[in-house]
Structure 1
Amino acid sequence: MPSSSLKPPQQERSRKGEKALLQAGLKGIETRGVAGLNMADVAAEAKASIGSLYFRFGDKSQFVEAVLAVALKEFQDRGFALCETAEREKWPQRRILEGWVAVVVTSVRERRSLVRELISHMATRPDAWKPIHERRRQLEDRLLSVLSARSSSGRNPAREMRLRIGLQVVAATVINMVVVDPGPLRINDPSAKDALCDLLFSFIGAPTTNAKGKAAPQHKAVRSKKA
């Protein structure tokens, strides 16, 4: 993350300039990787000076961490947007979980090059995982609160723990499909969401098919208004 001593931009022009630099960083990492990311190219892409880039972020390492924060926020916004929609429209629990899996798969699929590069970058930086874990917990807590509101029996700690583990397994499988790609399930496979939903429902003890014996319908990932 950028140094805490750095003050957030106050003027609209400064905020737009920072956003342009971060978006250029996202594009640069996706196309050239972290090692190949050139700060001068980032500045040129954002139509900014190299001096303003270093002044704002300090160095390349801090800039990469700021780019990671942007990618994490994109995912978090999608997750919260799904929870808000599910709460407002009173989705049943099954539809909420299907939507959640869709968000995970779609988000990673769209940013797979970035995900692969950032995981490799963070492999030797244990502290870099902290914001990921924190945002994941925030999202899971929000998701569980929405799910419990749709349950007639209220909150069940044992069931919630099992669900958290199931969500962890789904997320880890999606990341594995991008980083290692061992097959047979691949991130671009159209059946990826269905297969992961079946995996999750089986683990938490929910039926993987609906009452008519057909696979439950999948729901498109809900995008955040900012995405």
Structure 2
Amino acid sequence: MSELMSQGTLAALDGQQGFNPPRYGRAGRTTEALLEAGRQLLRERTLDSLTNQEICAAAHVTTGAFYGRFKSKQAFFRALQAVTAEDTDRSMTACLAALVQGNADLQAAVHALLSELRRVTLRNLGVLRATILEANGNAWQGFKQRRAAFIERAVPVLAARHQDGDAEWLYRRIRIAFQFAIGSIINAVLNDPGPLRLSSREFDMELTRAFCAYVAAP
């Protein structure tokens, strides 16, 4: 079972509309297997092309087990989005907390944050792509709000590692640098234009270089 599905999956679904919480351990494992199957299938497939039967086959469970947990495919996708949001929040919060406790310089701190962001994006690639492309969906707005809140927590942590410049000017520069970096990651999710790939650590290095160069520019 993947790292994503092994930590806090059911907690992330607490109160989720269209989801029937499992009462027993086996039912919980079935839920996790279904979510993991959907997450993997969406890496190569669109949400519209994916059937509940295919999800069940990939998870090695019956369609009855699917409908015992999820009211519909849409409810299943909403559950995947909730788990993805929780995974992203948990990973990025832990990374930022480690930086607060450490003594990394600006470049190392930026690299740590952008590396973790790339990894969590890659881990949830299909779900995020489907969320961005979802017609009449509003889940992406929630992801954007979470991202904006995280950036506001990260800005002073990074600014403390850059000694020059007016604080207001520096905070704005860091926010803009995040906008550039996250835009590049989203472009890779949707278009994979290359030459940098989400699967490559070189992406981290070049994003960090661009981020720090912009912050330091006169």
Q: What TM-score does the superposition give when structure 1 sets the normalisation length?
A: 0.72
**Shift in Å, 1:183:** 4.0
Q: Verify: 1:23 aligned to 2:29, yes or no.
A: no
Match of 1:69 in 2: 82
**Shift in Å, 1:97:** 0.9
Match of 1:95 in 2: 108
SS of 2:138's equivalent in the other structure is: helix
| Percent of aligned positions that are identical | 24
SS of 1:32's equivalent in the other structure is: coil
2:131–2:137 CA contact under 8 A, matched in 1:
no
Match of 2:5 in 1: none
SS of 1:160's equivalent in the other structure is: helix
SS of 1:178's equivalent in the other structure is: helix
What amino acid sits opposite 2:115 in the alignment?
Answer: A
What amino acid sits opposite 2:83 in the alignment?
Answer: V
Correspondence list, 1:156-171, <5 A = 156-171=167-182
The match for 2:155 among 144, 163, 167 is: 144
Match of 2:213 in 1: 202
Q: What TM-score does the superposition give when structure 2 sets the normalisation length?
A: 0.75
The match for 2:142 among 100, 115, 131 is: 131
- List runs of 5+ in structure 2 lacking aligned partners: 1-12
More deviation in 16-25 or 174-183?
174-183
| Aligned counterparts of 1:141 and 1:199: Cα–Cα separation in 2 | 20
| Aligned counterparts of 1:11 and 1:146: Cα–Cα separation in 2 | 43
**Shift in Å, 1:102:** 1.2
Deviations 1:167-201 (A, max 9, x none): 12111112212322334444455532222112211
| Aligned counterparts of 1:41 and 1:74: Cα–Cα separation in 2 | 24
Q: Verify: 1:34 aligned to 2:16, yes or no.
A: no
Which structure is higher in helix share?
2
What amino acid sits opposite 1:40 in the alignment?
Answer: Q
Task: Describe the shift of the 1:144–1:15 C-alpha distance in structure 2 as closer, same or farther (beyond 3 A).
Answer: farther
**Shift in Å, 1:5:** 7.0
Deviations 1:146-168 (A, max 9, x none): 33565679x93442233122112
| Aligned counterparts of 2:63 and 2:42: Cα–Cα separation in 1 | 17
Match of 2:117 in 1: 104
- List runs of 5+ in structure 1 lacking aligned partners: 208-227
Match of 2:187 in 1: 176
How many matched pairs? Answer: 204
| Aligned counterparts of 1:152 and 1:15: Cα–Cα separation in 2 | 50
